Chain A
Amino acid sequence: MKTARLSRKRMAAPLVAIALALSFTAIASAYSANYVQNVTWGAGSKDQSAYVSSLNGTAISFNNPNGGLPQMGARYVDYYNTGVTSYVWSNTGYLLDDRNYAGSSKSECAANSGNGYVVYVYYCYTNN
């Protein structure tokens, strides 16, 4: 009886390991983040998401607390922060960068260096 219980445990151990490995793989491949949240940015400020594969767009929500029409933009950058797509810009308060990037990259959102007013960023969001 004891032997049977032991052998069941021995059989279960690799299965648990496989299940854990699979769940970690799923966590590693599924990425979703508000990588910027509730910050006030001056001209030229920017930040990036984690470096992951197959990013599927960037959404930015922002406001102009001191008036003016500050511009926000999004692009994908490589590991060394070099742009792999061009920025797309807007000044309305909401922007969706609808482009995908098949390889590994980071999503970057930025306040344009020409902005004359600060911008309040509610969020920069990306996922894959």
Chain B
Amino acid sequence: MLRFQHRWKVVFAITAIGAAASAGFISNGHASPQPPPGLTAGVASLTALPVQANIPTGVSRFINSAAAATGTDAAAAHANVRLLRTNLGSSSRSVYAFRNANGSPCFLLTGVAGTCARTPAGGTPGLHWTLGGGTDETPSSLVGIASDDVSAVDLFVDGRPVLVTRANNVVYAEFPRTAKEAHVVIHRSGGVDNSFHVRLQG
């Protein structure tokens, strides 16, 4: 009987250790929390900045396309467009953004690219982004909308650090269009960082 009880204690202890390990509580004696998904930590500039009355034709085209792709009413999308950044990089581009029907930000770097997730929880934790997009005349770029709890974004292109500017939740950086690899690290104010890697040439 005693032997039977002891065996069950061992089984229980092994099960508890396994469960704790799978929950991420055993690495270096600390919990390993995950960062909040996507942009669920909020994007204040999409509320704080004024709605744009005059929307350029190219931005309107993006709004119609992104609205259709995410099940959003295009008229409602046009009515809540914000201008988040201007005079970015060597081509003085701008970033316009709106929230789609599910509340996820959709943004366009004028003349380069736009993107949006179907829900705020989609995409990379802390940063919805586009990378690349260079031409013979213009360099490639990183542009993204960072959530309010992002304290910094680091970009490494072919192993070298690249200056990233950040304002109104928009991060921006430029690099040569011939670059091969990009690595992005997102620092959150809660101390949980995450990163991603892109093979720029496909």
Residue positions of A touching B, CB distance < 8 A: 44, 46, 57, 59, 61, 69, 71, 73, 84-99, 110, 112-114
Contact = CB atoms under 8 A, between A and B. Distances in A.
A117 B129 CA distance: 19
Chain B binding surface, main DSSP class = mixed
B123 A73 contact: no
Given A85-B133, A98-B113, 18 more contacts: A69-B196, A84-B136, A86-B133, A86-B140, A88-B130, A89-B130, A90-B115, A92-B118, A92-B122, A94-B116, A95-B113, A95-B114, A96-B65, A96-B66, A96-B108, A97-B133, A110-B202, A114-B197
Q: Which bucket holds chain B's interface residue count?
A: 35 or more
Contact of A89 (B70, B135, B200): B200
B123 A95 contact: no
B117 A92 contact: yes
B192 interface: no
A93 B128 CA distance: 11
A4 B62 CA distance: 57
14 contacts: A84-B136, A86-B133, A86-B135, A87-B200, A89-B130, A92-B123, A93-B69, A94-B115, A95-B113, A97-B133, A98-B111, A99-B113, A99-B135, A114-B199
A90 B184 CA distance: 13
Contact of A98 (B114, B129, B200): B114
A88 B108 CA distance: 13
